[in-house]
Amino acid sequence: MSNETVSDVCYCSTKEHPPIPEPISSEDKAKQLEQELAINPTNTSAALRKLTSAEDNRPSAVGVGYLGVGLLTAVFGGLFLLDLNVILAGIKDLFCTSADVQNSVAVEETDC
């Protein structure tokens, strides 16, 4: 594309003359067009859809979700219940030890 010059501008018989554009190189014009046409990639619909989960209210999908939650709860709850006696014994031992240190007196054999 060639540069526009003053001779390319048509002066009509109007009161206001059209503005005369300043000469601009092809590279500068390309940069200017690139800036005008650039979009923010975080505001596109593809970027917004990537961060949003689609809702699925079908009964089969809901049932599979509840089944998954139930299985995970059973597995981790079972592991917790298997270790519950060890946890309670550790807590009991901790309280008995701290009571002995605070009293610093020979305590009769109690529940500890």
Q: Dump pLDDT digits (tens) for 17-55.
A: 777 777 888 899 999 999 999 988 888 888 888 888 888
Q: Is the pLDDT of residue 1 over 50?
A: no
What is the SS3 assignment for 38? coil
43 or 98, which is more confident: 43
Total-model pTM: 0.42
Q: What is the DSSP string of 99-112?
A: HHHHH-SPPP----
CA triple 14-15-20, angle to 5 deg: 80
